[in-house]
Each structure stands twice: as C-alpha cells, then as structure tokens.
A and B are shown apart, each in its own frame.
Chain A
Amino acid sequence: MSRQGCPLELERFSAGYGNGDCVVRDASFALRSGCMTALVGPNGAGKSTLLKGALGLLPHANTAGVRFFGQPLDKVRARVAYLPQRADIDWTFPASALDVAAMGLYRKIGFFHRVRGKWKSEARRALAMVGMESLDDMPIGELSGGQQQRVLLARSLVQGADLLMLDEPFVNVDFATEERLGAVLRDACRSGMSVLAVHHDLGDVRRYFDDAVLFDGTVVAHGSIDVALADANLHEAFRLGPPPEDSIA
C-alpha cells in the first residue's frame, strides 16, 4: 500500500478540549485502504475525540501529523465523509429524510445553487441503498432511531467519499438495522471505500470489521482483528490486570 493511497495516517497525534488535559496522546497508525477498521476501547478512552480531532472539529488538536490520502484534510475534503453520533444531532430539526440525505451533496452542488431534480434523484438513490426510499418525505423527527441512522448513512454515502469516518454507527439500533448498515458498509468497501468506525461492542466486531485499532488515550494495538484484539492487548486497554498465562502462550 503506498502512503499516497493511505486513507488516514496519524503520526504522534494529540487532541483535547482545552482544559489542560490531553484526551488523545501521541496516537499513530495508518489505515488499510478498502478495509473496514473498528476503533475500539473502553468508555472515555477518547475514540470520538480522536475522530473529531483528526477531522479538525476540535480547536485543541495537533493536526500537523494527520494525513488523508497523503495530504492535509483541506486538500481532500471531497474524499472524506463523517457520520456523527446520533445523539449529536437535533432530531427535532424541521427537515425530511430527503433534505438530510441531499446535504451530503452540498459541496458538489456549490454555493448559490439550488438542490434541483438531478441532485434529489441522487439523494433518493442513496436513501434506497439503505432501504429508506419509501420514507423520503418523512420529517426526520418522526423516524425511528434506526431509520435516523440510516438517513445519516445515506448522507455520507451520497457524498461519494473514499473514506467514511463513523462515530458509533451501530449504537441504539435494532439487530436488523445493524445488519443492514453493516451490509451497506461492506458493499461500499468492496467498491474501494475505506471505513473507520468507533465501535463499542467487542462481541460482534469480527462480524463487520477487517482491522481494529485498540485505543485507550493512545494506540494500544493496531492490525487485523486477531492481532489487535489479542487477550494481552485487551487486558492492557481495559486495565483488567495481566491476562491468564495460557492466553499469552
């Protein structure tokens, strides 16, 4: 994998909220292209902070060591999409599912231009990919949690990005929705997209992801699921004390 093609590379990346504490310290890793990578770790480890900091959403982040496709984010914004936590969104906002999906196209449409029929069709296609085509006119506040998450995913997909960064995409969704979202992301990866998703459930991480970054304020381990989530690494990240001797062997 050439470094130019590396979707995301962090080198000694640090980020925090400006109160003196550094939530993310000296994080370094590089994502494999075309793979689904899970960012896992204990609660409060700084997984969401890492995502937001790398995307320039925090005022106190050292983004000098952050490279997207070998370049600073500003040069490749069209190639990067972000899906925030569902709790970060005001779902009482007066918009339809189609409005939200079309928001992913705003950069392509450009300033001063309206969202015309061609763009609406593209947004409808993205909604169809996540099984939401019949609810495109529905206000987002009247959708279920899983449907809202699917609309957000449609907004990210319609952008046509090469790297999708998701913050807890499977939280508070039912099993069927989780399966559907997982399948859509898998298909996207098969067509060349790379995915980095904050994930909290170690039990099903193997079902959806190829690689993992085990994180606890800094990178504890990174690589294929088996390597990154080895018992010794999990014990270190979740501070469970030393693993039983037979598991080390």
Chain B
Amino acid sequence: MSVDPNTLAIPFWGANTIMVTLGCAVFGALAGSVGTFVLARKQSLLADVAGHATLPGVAIAFLLGESLGIGGRSPWLLFLGGGTTALLAAWSTPWLARHKRLGADGANAVALAGFFGLGTVLFSLVQSHPAGAQGGLRRLLFGSAAAITSSDAASLAMIALIALAVLVLCFKELSLLAFDEAAARVLGLPTRRLDWMLLLLLVATVVAGMQVAGVALVVSMLIAPAAAARIIGGSFARTVTLAACIGILCAVMGATASRGFEHVPTGSAMTIAATAVFFACIPCSRLFRARRSRTSTEARR
C-alpha cells in the first residue's frame, strides 16, 4: 500500500474535498445520534439488515434510470431506490419475527441474506450494463468518499440534516419509546407513529451513509459510536451528543484516511476508527464511573 503525499494534502485544500468531508461529518453526527436510539431499542441487527437491503434498491434504481434515459447515477434516484428496499426490510423483518415464529434473530438472518443475495444478483446485471461498470456503483459495498462528488455530498448532507432536525424535535418522545414503551403508551404518546419515525430515521441514516460508509459497513457507524458513548454513561442527552461527536470524528478520520491511502475503502477506515474509539472508551468509562461514585458519596454526606 503506497501513501501519496499529494493526496494527503488534498483534504485540507480542495473545495470538493471540503464539501465531501463536511458531508461525512454530518453523516457521522446523524449515525451516532440515531445509533443511540437504535441500540437502546435493541435494533442493531435490524440496522445491519437495512444497510444490506439498500443494495437491490440501488441496483433497481440504476437500471430503471438508465432504461428511462434519465441517468442511473443520479444521487437522489439511488437514495430513493436504496431507501425503498431498506424501508421494506426494516418493516418486514420485525413482522417476520412476530408473525412467523422465527424470533428476531432468525428473521434478521433470513431478511439480510435474502435482500443482500437479491442485491448481488441485480448488481451483476448492473455491471453487465454499458454504463454500469463506469458508474462506480461497486464502491457502494464498502464506501468510497474519494469517489463521491460535491453534489453527492450535498445530497447526503441534506438528508442527514433533515433527519437530525426530526430527531431533535422528537427527542424526548423517542427517548421514552426507547426506554419504556409501555409507559409511553399509557401517557398517550403515538407509539406506533414514533416507532415508524425511528425506522425512517434509521433508513435515512443508512441511505445517507451508503456512499461513504458502504452498505455492508454502515451499521458500524450507527452502533460503535453509540456503544462507545453508552459505556461512558451520563444523561441520555449527553450520551446522544457524545455519540454524535464520536460519529463525526470517525467519519472524518475514515474519509481522510481513505483519501490518503490508496485502495482503502472509506467504510472500512471508518469502522476501524469507530471500533478503536469504542475500545479506548472502556478504560475511560471506569474513570467516569469512579468520579460519579465519589460525587454521589459526597452528595449523600
């Protein structure tokens, strides 16, 4: 693996690179914060299913765009295609678990394998299409920040910002849903709609991240920053904020590393960064816990 000093300098100077890095940062913030809710709702594997399920949708959108003559590489078309199949997977997996006596574990495995299998078959069709090989869609598997354009980055940032705004507006209702659904229902909160909203936020995160983190690894950006923030502890708002900050850090690190090191997929670099931060947080959590314990002992005196 060779390091090109010229490309290492690019992230800090090129307008396109700055735009892409900003897009990655907004995605990281969204992934960290949504991931905290997903982890609390025990939907980590569902996030993985949704990530893998974007693949057939993207392939169908590309083929449809090309056959209609509107261009298959349009970011909004790919987001729409990937989002539709991810939403279908995120909705059908819990349904399978409930109604077919599979349990969440079996339903996740069936849905992940089914959607990803379909995706790989459709991708072989995309690759055999004249425009398919040049479209760079193969990079969607593990992500490539270097391959995305300013317009891609602006589109993903827009999705991420809208999703973040929804999350902030419904923060407390979603937090009660995640903590104690029964209490939320007795209080009269619209739990079914909130559950759907969380699914849509999950899908929006997956769709926003599929180009930079890749469909196979986007789940790591949802869960690892949230898990790292969770072991540090504190209030829920603090945990979500910390997860968002860790998400930004890992997304920017991943994007920068994949630009500096040839052939390193951005998703893999982000995953390694997020996993490293998670393990670094384990000793930190002991320090925070000891400090809290001292504070509470003093308060009780």
Residues of A within 8 A of B (CB): 52, 55-57, 74, 77-78, 80-82, 84, 88-90, 92-96, 98-100, 103-104, 106-107, 109, 111-112, 114-115, 134-135, 137-139, 141-142, 155, 159
Question: Inside 8 A of B189's CB, which chain A residues have their CB?
Answer: 106-107
Given A90, A115, A135, which contacts B299 in the complex, CB threshold below 8 Å?
A135
How far, in whole Å, are A55 and B184 apart by their CA atoms in the complex?
Answer: 12
How far, in whole Å, are A106 and B293 apart by their CA atoms in the complex?
Answer: 29
Residues of B within 8 A of A (CB): 36, 40, 42, 169-173, 175-176, 178-180, 182-183, 185-189, 229-230, 233-237, 239, 289, 292-293, 295-296, 299-300
Asked whether, in the complex, the Cβ of A94 is within 8 Å of the Cβ of B292, the reply is: no
Given B171, B180, B186, B292, which contacts A81 in the complex, CB threshold below 8 Å?
B186
Asked whether, in the complex, the Cβ of B180 is within 8 Å of the Cβ of A99, the reply is: no
Q: Known contacts A94-B229, A98-B235, A134-B299; is A89 also within 8 Å of B180 by CB? A: yes
Question: Inside 8 A of B175's CB, which chain A residues have their CB?
Answer: 95, 99, 103
User: Ordered nearest first, which 5 A-B pairs have the shortest CB separation?
Assistant: A134-B299, A94-B239, A77-B188, A96-B235, A139-B233
Nearest Cβ on chain B to A112's Cβ, whole angstroms: 5
Question: Inside 8 A of B173's CB, which chain A residues have their CB?
Answer: 106, 111
Q: Known contacts A74-B188, A90-B40, A96-B236; is A84 also within 8 Å of B170 by CB? A: no
Interface contacts (Cβ under 8 Å), in number, total 103
Asked whether, in the complex, the Cβ of B185 is within 8 Å of the Cβ of A90, the reply is: no
Question: Inside 8 A of A142's CB, which chain B residues have their CB?
Answer: 233, 289, 292-293
Asked whether, in the complex, the Cβ of A99 is within 8 Å of the Cβ of B236, the reply is: yes
Question: Inside 8 A of B178's CB, which chain A residues have their CB?
Answer: 93
With both beta carbons as reference points, the residue of chain A lying nearest to B185 in the complex is identified as A57
Given A82-B186, A142-B233, 20 other A-B contacts at CB below 8 A? A56-B185, A77-B186, A77-B187, A77-B188, A82-B183, A84-B180, A88-B180, A95-B235, A96-B234, A96-B235, A100-B179, A103-B179, A106-B172, A106-B173, A106-B189, A109-B172, A134-B296, A135-B300, A137-B235, A139-B233
Question: Inside 8 A of B172's CB, which chain A residues have their CB?
Answer: 103, 106, 109, 114-115
Question: Inside 8 A of B289's CB, which chain A residues have their CB?
Answer: 142
Asked whether, in the complex, the Cβ of B234 is within 8 Å of the Cβ of A88, the reply is: no
Question: Inside 8 A of B186's CB, which chain A residues have their CB?
Answer: 55-57, 77, 80-82
Asked whether, in the complex, the Cβ of B300 is within 8 Å of the Cβ of A134, the reply is: yes
Question: Inside 8 A of A100's CB, which chain B residues have their CB?
Answer: 179
Asked whether, in the complex, the Cβ of B179 is within 8 Å of the Cβ of A90, the reply is: yes
Q: Known contacts A77-B188, A94-B40, A112-B170; is A88 also within 8 Å of B292 by CB? A: no
Looking at chain B's contact residues, is the secondary structure mostly helix, strand, loop, or mixed? helix
Nearest Cβ on chain A to B258's Cβ, whole angstroms: 30
Residue in B170, B178, B180 with the greatest tally of chain A CB atoms within 10 Å: B180
With both beta carbons as reference points, the residue of chain A lying nearest to B188 in the complex is identified as A77
With both beta carbons as reference points, the residue of chain B lying nearest to A56 in the complex is identified as B185
Question: Inside 8 A of A107's CB, which chain B residues have their CB?
Answer: 187-189
Asked whether, in the complex, the Cβ of A112 is within 8 Å of the Cβ of B185, the reply is: no
How far, in whole Å, are A81 and B187 apart by their CA atoms in the complex?
Answer: 8
How far, in whole Å, are A87 and B182 apart by their CA atoms in the complex?
Answer: 13
Question: Inside 8 A of B234's CB, which chain A residues have their CB?
Answer: 94, 96, 137, 139
Asked whether, in the complex, the Cβ of B182 is within 8 Å of the Cβ of A52, the reply is: yes
How far, in whole Å, are A95 and B180 apart by their CA atoms in the complex?
Answer: 12
Question: Inside 8 A of B295's CB, which chain A residues have their CB?
Answer: 137
Asked whether, in the complex, the Cβ of B187 is within 8 Å of the Cβ of A89, the reply is: no
Nearest Cβ on chain B to A18's Cβ, whole angstroms: 11
Show 8 A/B contacts (Cβ-Cβ < 8 Å), sorted by A.
A94-B40, A94-B229, A94-B230, A94-B236, A95-B236, A112-B170, A114-B171, A139-B233
Nearest Cβ on chain A to B244's Cβ, whole angstroms: 13
Question: Inside 8 A of B179's CB, which chain A residues have their CB?
Answer: 89-90, 93, 95, 100, 103
